């Protein structure tokens, strides 16, 4: 039998929640994977199961420094970035640097290797949206100097430089705008609503709801999201594509659902709404359906049970 050619994929942020799940999918699809992470918000636990895999290599490095990768690279997936409000409020300058310098370095590598490039962008580029649901054509309503601006604008710049490399250098680029995603390997204390509510419910502590809980979110299970990202990477789309679950619910409804699924007797603790917290968040996935044949398949109950089981295991450790 002739030796089968294996594509080589580089994943920045490869020890993170999404980066590690993407790595698993790429390996399952027959890729070799080089993961880069400085472990500021990533965790070795997420990639422990890959130890000894001959198709996997881990490099501990900050992607805002020059990336030297010998040999062939066919795909560059740029997922490195703090991605929760707690992280980017604690790490405002690293967040800006990984969005700007890190994206520049990752694009430079893709250009040099003639690799396909995929940027992990975010629904946060829409800010606190005045259009509902959010289509890719919407330019957003972002406060550039607010506390969340370091993340929102870093990702908006990352999108701009990605399109510039596509237009000026002919790099084959993709941009995924990721909406709220949840699942195993999220950090319990990352400040996002899914781990916060599950952790509080399992500990019997009050669930912290900001404002009156009428703000909405749409939750996509991680396996669905990664499937959409893989399809986008293999497509010929260059414009941004929303990947997320359009099933929208209020934070108050979500809190009640977590209490029901965990059987917790926790109360709900209402707190003041943070600055620039988006009031609505729901993806329009018309483009993903039409161009990628993608839509989410895992319902909230099934996905949340898997996530709750994961967190229950982590709390016991």
Pure H helices in 114-247: 149-169, 193-203, 222-233
Catalytic-residue membership of 151: yes
Those residues whose C-beta lies under 8 Å from the C-beta of residue 233, and which sit 6 or more positions away, are 75, 77, 116, 118, 174
Choosing from 151, 165, 182, 310, which is the catalytic residue?
Answer: 151
**How many angstroms separate the most distant Cα atoms in the chain?**
65
Q: Is cis: bond before 2, omega within 30 of 0?
A: no
> Measured between alpha carbons, how far apart are the two ends of the chain, in Å?
46
**DSSP state, residue 63:** T
- The CA distance from 60 to 58, in Å, is 7
Distance CA 200, CA 264 (A): 9
- DSSP secondary structure letter of residue 183: -
Q: What is the DSSP letter of 127?
A: B
Q: Where are the alpha helices (DSSP H) in the chain?
A: 17-28, 85-90, 92-97, 103-113, 149-169, 193-203, 222-233, 251-262, 286-287, 300-316
Q: Are 292 and 242 in contact (CB under 8 A)?
A: no
Q: How far apart are CA 12 and CA 80, in angstroms?
A: 5
Q: Find the DSSP H helices in 32-91.
A: 85-90
Backbone angles phi, psi at 79, to 5 degrees: -115, 0
For the annotated catalytic residues, the residue numbers are 151
């Amino acid at each position: 039998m002739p030796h089968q050619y294996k594509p080589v994929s580089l994943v920045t942020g490869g020890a993170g929640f999404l980066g590690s799940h993407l790595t698993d999918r790429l390996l399952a699809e027959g890729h070799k994977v080089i993961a880069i992470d400085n472990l500021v918000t990533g965790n070795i636990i997420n990639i422990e199961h890959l130890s000894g895999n001959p198709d996997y290599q881990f490099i501990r490095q900050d992607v805002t420094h020059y990336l030297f990768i010998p040999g062939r690279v066919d795909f560059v997936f740029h997922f490195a970035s703090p991605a929760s409000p707690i992280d980017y409020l604690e790490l405002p300058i690293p967040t800006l640097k990984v969005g700007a310098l890190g994206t520049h370095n990752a694009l430079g590598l893709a250009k040099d290797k003639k690799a396909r490039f995929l940027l992990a962008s975010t629904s946060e580029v829409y800010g606190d949206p005045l259009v509902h649901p959010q289509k890719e054509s919407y330019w957003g309503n972002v406060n550039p100097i607010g506390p969340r601006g370091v993340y929102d604008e870093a990702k908006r710049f990352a999108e701009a430089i990605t399109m510039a490399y596509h237009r000026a250098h002919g790099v084959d680029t993709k941009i995924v705008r990721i909406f709220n995603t949840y699942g195993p390997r999220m950090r319990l204390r990352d400040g996002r609503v899914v781990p916060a509510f599950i952790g509080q419910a399992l500990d019997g502590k009050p669930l912290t709801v900001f404002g009156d809980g009428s703000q909405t979110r749409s939750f996509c299970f991680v396996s669905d999201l990664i499937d959409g990202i893989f399809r986008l990477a293999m497509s010929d789309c260059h414009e941004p594509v929303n990947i997320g679950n359009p099933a929208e619910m209020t934070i108050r409804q979500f809190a009640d659902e977590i209490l029901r699924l965990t059987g917790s007797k926790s109360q709900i603790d209402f707190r003041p709404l943070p600055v620039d917290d988006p009031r609505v968040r729901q993806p329009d996935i018309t483009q993903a359906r039409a161009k990628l044949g993608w839509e989410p398949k895992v319902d909230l109950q099934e996905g949340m049970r898997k996530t709750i089981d994961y967190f229950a295991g982590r709390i016991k450790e």
